[in-house]
């Protein structure tokens, strides 16, 4: 009997459950190895075979392989590549590899057997393998000595021949892979692979081919295409984004990239942070979020964490599931492998855990957790102590600040789009119904301050309206379009959405015979009512619609409660006036809402 500190069979069992999110992330480890070995073309090959499920025969994935045209490996390198924690790039901080866990860890997380064929210029393939069954039975205690073996003809045919040097990794017995068909493997991997390696693909440094076939007929390819770059910042052209944004960038830069110099021990490095924002034309029209390019952007929400030109993850700590506008911005934090320990890069390269932990907290909450009164105080202390987390806090503050500004700009953009300048109000719109109510009140002999201006010359009325709209933040062209429409339609109401430095939810002014209502987008009531109810419904499920209605109803009740408390706090001599104003407004509201 032996008493190993970590029995090999138990260690491998634990490593099989080491946390790869899915097969696509595990395959990315193999692609990393290929690119690190200088491959220009990497092929993801998926073989299917018929399988009887209940009483029906279906095609199911049988084997997965990754083939590259890299430099290949000699016998010693091949054996070390299949050792957990070993590899050729352990001390190399210049590329995307380094951790020595990729090939065995990723492979056995999905399959119980992995086979590797590798060959160098002008030599035959060397072959070896790992098999979980043999390890569990203690039949395999070290990586088998490689032997010369021909690459199976199925893979040669499916690949269209073999390069002069390269490596083929084959996964067999896919007992841990949740996707059961070759198409599912490709469709669930394509966007992720395109996003992780977008810079390599876009620059032409590497092409990633995706192929599926039936094992019995490898010459007949079912799927055969190249992965396209998938840029979550949408600043690249010729990407997987649907038309009309497949050949041109859908977003534009938001400000200049910031470069943060970092000194850790004897290492000096630089962190680069970038932001992008959707072009107005990408969001124009009805329900842009539910169209194909909007749905594509929905899959790329988050802050992209880049290491050595390769994406680790899209961090969601800066996003909100209930905020559909988050799809219309992009953010990227890029750092070199020299800062792996600072960012907390996991050995499967799926996360920068230290940054993720800070991203999910408010900066003041983080300060409180660390025992300080503010994040500024915490930043000072960490800087003085040369705490590696100081750079992460600085990134957190910078990203928070810029995303707040981007969201404000997107919100203002939405407000302007919703107002549809230059278009006639629908006959059943609130503005049209309100105008009808005023006309009836005028016929009843009730006059308002705005009514007297209706007798002024049209040009003067237009200038007065344009001037007021410009003071609310509208551009001259848009303000003029609105003024022309208002006079043409003889409308009495116009809503303007603007960030007003006032505690009021809305303001009321009359210009040129029109009552202008400014909705304060920075007031909480705007988010609880106007914003919540004006969001696209095309991109919402029943539960989210119910949630929005519930929140809006709650917001309405809170507004009424606020008014009630306002009356409650008034001096006794003013209570009657407030009560009278409430009743008078109620009588006017009754007429305006009649027939609703």
How many Å apart are CA 376 and CA 396, to the nearest integer?
12
From 274, 293, 273, select the one nearest 283 (Cα to Cα): 293
Position 474 scores a pLDDT of 82
Per residue in 351-386, pLDDT (tens digit) is 899 999 998 888 888 889 889 999 899 999 998 998
From 354, 324, 329, select the one nearest 339 (Cα to Cα): 354
Residue with tokens 């070759």: 182
* 456: exposed, middle or buried (Cβ count in 10 Å: 0-12, 13-18, 19+): middle
96-100, 176-180, 415-419 — which is least confidently predicted?
A: 96-100
Q: How many alpha carbons lie under 13 Å from residue 425 in its C-beta half-sphere?
A: 25
The segment with the largest mean pLDDT, out of 7-21, 82-96, 249-263, 311-325, is 249-263
Position 388 scores a pLDDT of 86
Position 163 scores a pLDDT of 95
From 132, 430, 399, 416, select the one nearest 274 (Cα to Cα): 399
Position 180 scores a pLDDT of 92
Kindly compute the dihedral angle of the four CA atoms of residues 185, 230, 302, 294, in this order, to the nearest 10 degrees: -100
Averaged pLDDT for residues 194-216: 97
What confidence tier does 498 reach under pLDDT thresholds 50, 70, 90?
A: confident
At CA 327, angle to CA 322 and CA 331, rounded to 5?
115
Mean pLDDT of the chain: 87
Position 321 scores a pLDDT of 78
What confidence tier does 535 reach under pLDDT thresholds 50, 70, 90?
A: low
Residue 321 vs residue 258, higher pLDDT? 258
Beta-strand pair 166-172/56-68: antiparallel
Averaged pLDDT for residues 169-180: 94
Task: Tell me what percent of the residues of the chain surpass a pLDDT of 70.
Answer: 87
Position 539 scores a pLDDT of 46
pTM over 0.75: no
What confidence tier does 90 reach under pLDDT thresholds 50, 70, 90?
A: very low
Residue with tokens 């994040």: 375
What confidence tier does 87 reach under pLDDT thresholds 50, 70, 90?
A: low
Position 158 scores a pLDDT of 97
Position 101 scores a pLDDT of 58
Averaged pLDDT for residues 31-46: 96
At CA 98, angle to CA 339 and CA 188, rounded to 5?
95
Residue 337 is given by DSSP the state G
3-class DSSP assignment, residue 319: coil
How many Å apart are CA 89 and CA 78, to the nearest integer?
13
Per-residue pLDDT for 348 more than 60? yes
CA pseudo-torsion sign 571, 574, 580, 582: negative
Question: What domains lie within the chain, and their CATH numbers?
Answer: 8-225 (3.30.565.10), 251-414 (no CATH), 419-522 (no CATH), 528-596 (no CATH)
Per-residue pLDDT for 286 more than 70? no
How many Å apart are CA 319 and CA 403, to the nearest integer?
10
Position 54 scores a pLDDT of 63
What confidence tier does 216 reach under pLDDT thresholds 50, 70, 90?
A: very high
How many Å apart are CA 180 and CA 193, to the nearest integer?
19
Helix (H) or strand (E) run with residue 555 in it: helix 542-569
Per-residue pLDDT for 167 more than 80? yes
Per-residue pLDDT for 2 more than 70? no
What confidence tier does 96 reach under pLDDT thresholds 50, 70, 90?
A: low
Helix (H) or strand (E) run with residue 217 in it: strand 217-226
Assigned token pair, 432? 């049209």
Position 538 scores a pLDDT of 43
What confidence tier does 347 reach under pLDDT thresholds 50, 70, 90?
A: confident
């Amino acid at each position: 009997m032996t008493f190993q500190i970590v029995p090999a069979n138990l260690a491998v069992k634990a490593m099989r459950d080491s946390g790869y999110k899915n097969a696509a992330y595990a395959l990315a480890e193999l692609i990393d190895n290929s690119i690190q070995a200088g491959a220009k073309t990497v092929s993801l090959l998926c073989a299917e075979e018929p399988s009887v499920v209940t009483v029906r025969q279906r095609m199911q994935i049988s084997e997965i392989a990754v083939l590259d045209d890299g430099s290949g490996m000699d016998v010693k390198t091949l054996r070390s590549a299949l050792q957990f924690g070993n590899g050729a790039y352990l001390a190399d901080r210049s590329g995307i590899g380094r951790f020595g866990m990729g090939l065995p860890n990723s492979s056995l997380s999905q399959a119980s057997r992995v086979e590797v064929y590798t060959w160098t210029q002008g030599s035959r393939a060397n072959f070896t393998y790992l098999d979980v069954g043999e390890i569990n039975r203690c039949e395999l205690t070290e990586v088998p000595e490689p032997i010369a073996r021909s690459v199976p003809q199925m893979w040669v045919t499916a690949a269209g021949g073999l390069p002069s040097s390269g490596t083929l990794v084959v996964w067999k017995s896919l007992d841990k892979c949740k996707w059961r068909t070759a198409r599912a493997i490709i469709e669930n991997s394509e966007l992720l692979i395109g996003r992780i390696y977008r810079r390599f693909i876009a620059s032409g440094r590497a092409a990633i081919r995706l192929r599926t076939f039936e094992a019995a007929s490898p010459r007949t390819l079912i799927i055969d295409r190249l992965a396209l770059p998938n840029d979550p910042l949408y600043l690249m052209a010729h990407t997987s984004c649907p038309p009309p944004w497949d050949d041109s960038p859908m977003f534009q830069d938001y400000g200049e990239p910031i470069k943060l110099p970092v000194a850790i021990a004897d290492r000096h490095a630089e962190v680069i942070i970038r932001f992008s924002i959707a072009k107005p034309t990408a969001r124009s029209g009805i329900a842009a979020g539910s169209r194909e390019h909007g749905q594509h952007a929905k899959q790329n929400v988050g802050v992209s964490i880049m290491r050595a030109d390769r994406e680790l993850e899209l961090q969601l700590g800066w996003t909100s599931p209930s905020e559909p506008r988050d799809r219309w911005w992009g953010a990227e934090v890029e750092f070199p492998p020299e800062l792996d320990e600072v960012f907390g890069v996991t050995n499967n390269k799926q996360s920068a855990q230290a940054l993720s932990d800070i991203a999910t907290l408010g900066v003041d909450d983080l300060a409180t957790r660390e025992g300080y009164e503010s994040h500024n105080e915490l930043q000072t202390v960490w800087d003085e102590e040369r705490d590696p987390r100081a750079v992460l806090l600085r990134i957190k503050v910078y990203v928070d600040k810029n995303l707040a500004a981007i969201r404000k700009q997107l919100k203002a953009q939405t407000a302007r789009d919703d107002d549809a300048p230059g278009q006639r109000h629908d006959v059943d719109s609130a503005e049209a119904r309100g105008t009808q109510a005023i006309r009836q009140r005028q016929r009843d002999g009730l006059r308002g301050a705005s009514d007297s201006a209706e007798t002024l010359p049209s040009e003067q009325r237009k200038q007065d309206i344009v001037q007021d709209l410009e003071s609310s933040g509208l551009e001259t062209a848009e303000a003029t379009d609105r003024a022309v429409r208002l006079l043409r339609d003889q409308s009495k109401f116009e809503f303007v959405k603007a960030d007003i430095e006032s505690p009021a939810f809305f303001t009321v002014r009359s210009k040129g015979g029109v009552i202008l209502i400014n909705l304060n987008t920075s007031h909480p009531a705007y988010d609880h009512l106007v914003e919540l109810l004006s969001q696209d419904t095309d991109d919402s499920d029943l539960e989210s619609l119910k949630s929005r209605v519930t929140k809006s109803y709650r917001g309405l009740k809170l507004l009424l409660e606020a008014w009630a408390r306002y009356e409650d706090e008034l001096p006794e001599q003013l209570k009657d006036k407030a009560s009278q104003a409430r009743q008078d407004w109620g009588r006017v509201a009754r007429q305006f809402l009649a027939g609703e």
